[in-house]
């Protein structure tokens, strides 16, 4: 796989240097979370007495667990609905293509191009009138629709790579469409479905336009909760760092796990 035969040690040094510089802010946040508030604003130093004070305090304040739960419910809920809607659609597009399939796929992609801010007012007013402002249900609906095109596309590219004969054989044996999907397609493409689900969770977890604009103290997920630390009422860097670390750690790990498959979803199959 390597394109370099000659050993050039400076390449490794340079690459590591770049990687560390890019990662530094995350590393620094990690460190700051284990400092006292006084140490956090003192002259930057790697040498300090680590403490779990900030973690305990952030966890102890009733609001952190509540907002973390909001993030979990909203991102898993929306991902579940998106998968339920997308699996049958992607199945039919991959295995029962018609003349319209390509057009439908491209149209789905184009709905993703609608900038959220362009429909801020209607979505805000609709949510208000339907009583969905500052509710998890409201965010789940929005995130489901927001990620549906990406989920359909990504599943479609995974399904297309499956051997058709197996499903064909299942159909010959008299399997219904439902059986074909649940007993053959889903087990066979489980890794693909899993990484699609993970991408959808990551995108919902990190979404910050709708969460900032449509939620307040009740349904705010972590993106919006963390934003409340920006208020100028003093510097709480250690607590900010502890809360941020807990907020990004699971997603960072999901991201590391699925980085390769994710490229398909993020580029609508244009880069594999």
Partner 1 sequence: MRTRASGRTVGGLRSLSLQAPAVTLLLLWMLVPLGMTLWFSFQHYNLLMPGDPSFVGLENYRYLFTDPSLWRAMGNTLVMVGWILVISVGGGTLLAVLFQQEFRGRGIARVLAISPFFVMPTVSALIWKNMMMHPSNGVLAWLMESLGLPAIDWFSWIPMTSVVIIVSWQWLPFALLILLTAIQSLDDDQVEAARMDGAGPVAIFRFITLPHLKRAISVVIMIEMIFLLTIFAEIYVTTSGGPGLATTNLAFLIYIQALLDFDVGMASAGGVVAIILANIVAIFLVRAVARNLEE
User: Does residue 4 belong to the site contacting partner 1 (CB under 8 A)?
Assistant: yes
Region 50-109 residues binding partner 1, contact defined as CB under 8 A: 85-86, 88-89, 91-93, 96-98, 101-102, 104-106, 108-109
Binding of partner 1 at residue 183 (CB under 8 A)?
no
Is residue 159 classed exposed, middle or buried when 0-12, 13-18 and 19+ CB atoms within 10 A define those classes? buried
C-alpha span between 218 and 203 (Å, rounded): 21
Tell me how far, at minimum, the Cβ of 260 lies from partner 1, in Å: 7
Integer Cα distance of 226 and 8 in angstroms: 43
Among 36, 41, 48, 80, binds partner 1 (CB under 8 A): 41
Our finding on whether 212 is near partner 1 (CB under 8 A) is yes
How would you classify residue 268: left for phi > 0, otherwise alpha for psi between -120 and 50, otherwise beta? left
Site for partner 1 contains 184 (CB under 8 A) = no
Query: Is 174 among the residues that bind partner 1 (CB under 8 A)?
Result: no
CB of 144 to partner 1, least distance (A): 8
- Residue 64's CB is within 10 A of a number of other CB atoms, namely 20
Q: Which stretch binds partner 1 (CB under 8 A): 53-61, 130-138, 186-194, 259-267?
A: 259-267
Subset of residues 191 to 210 that bind partner 1, contact rule: CB under 8 A: 202, 205-206, 208-209
Cα–Cα distance measured from residue 3 to residue 204, given in angstroms and rounded to the nearest whole number: 37
For the record, the structure tokens of 240 come out as: 């900010």
Q: Based on the shown chain and the rule CB under 8 A, indicate whether residue 49 belongs to the binding site for partner 1.
A: no
**Could you tell me how many residues of this chain bind partner 1 (CB under 8 A)?**
102
CA angle 96, 102, 104 (to 5 degrees): 95
Q: By C-beta, is 158 or 254 nearer to partner 1?
A: 254
CB contact at 8 A, 158 and 189: yes
Q: Quick one: 87 or 136, whose CB is closer to partner 1?
A: 87
CB 175 within 8 A of CB 213: no
Q: Which of 74, 132, 140, 152 binds partner 1 (CB under 8 A)?
A: 152
Residues 106-145 that bind partner 1 (CB under 8 A): 106, 108-126, 145
Which is nearer to partner 1, 1 or 172 (by Cβ)?
A: 1
Shortest separation between residue 139's beta carbon and partner 1, angstroms: 14
- SS3 per residue for 160-197: HCCCHHHHHHHHHCCCCHHHHHHHHHHHHCHHHHHHHH
**Burial track 251-263 (b if 16+ CB lie within 10 A, e otherwise):** beebeeebeebbe
Residue with smaller CB distance to partner 1, 59 or 101: 101
Q: Is 38 in the site for partner 1 (CB under 8 A)?
A: no
DSSP string, 77-108: HHHHHHHHHHHHHHHHHHHS--TTHHHHHHHH
Which one of 49-57, 62-70, 131-139, 236-244 is the stretch in contact with partner 1 (CB under 8 A)?
236-244
């Amino acid at each position: 796989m390597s394109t370099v035969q000659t050993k050039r040690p400076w390449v490794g040094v340079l690459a590591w240097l770049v990687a560390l510089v890019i990662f530094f802010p995350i590393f620094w946040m990690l460190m700051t979370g284990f400092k006292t508030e006084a140490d956090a604003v003192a002259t930057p130093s790697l040498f300090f007495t680590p403490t779990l004070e900030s973690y305990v305090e952030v966890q102890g304040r009733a609001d952190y667990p509540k907002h973390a739960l909001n993030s979990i419910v909203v991102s898993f809920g929306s991902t579940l609905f998106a998968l339920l809607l997308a699996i049958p659609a992607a199945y039919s597009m991959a295995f029962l293509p018609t003349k319209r399939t390509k057009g439908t796929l491209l149209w789905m992609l184009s709905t993703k191009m609608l900038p959220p801010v362009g429909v801020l007012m209607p979505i805000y007013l609709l949510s208000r009138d339907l009583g969905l402002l500052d509710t998890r249900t409201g965010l789940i609906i929005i995130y489901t629709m927001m990620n549906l095109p990406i989920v359909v596309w990504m599943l479609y590219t995974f399904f297309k790579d499956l051997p058709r004969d197996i499903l064909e054989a299942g159909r010959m044996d008299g399997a219904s469409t439902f059986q074909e999907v649940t007993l053959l397609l889903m087990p066979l493409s489980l890794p693909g479905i899993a990484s699609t689900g993970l991408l959808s969770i990551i995108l919902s977890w990190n979404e910050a336009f709708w969460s900032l604009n449509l939620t307040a103290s009740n349904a705010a997920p972590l993106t919006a909760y963390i934003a409340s630390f920006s208020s100028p009422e003093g510097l709480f860097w250690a607590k900010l760092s502890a809360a941020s670390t807990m907020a990004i750690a699971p997603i960072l790990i999901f991201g590391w796990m699925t980085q390769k498959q994710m490229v398909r979803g993020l580029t609508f199959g244009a880069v594999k």
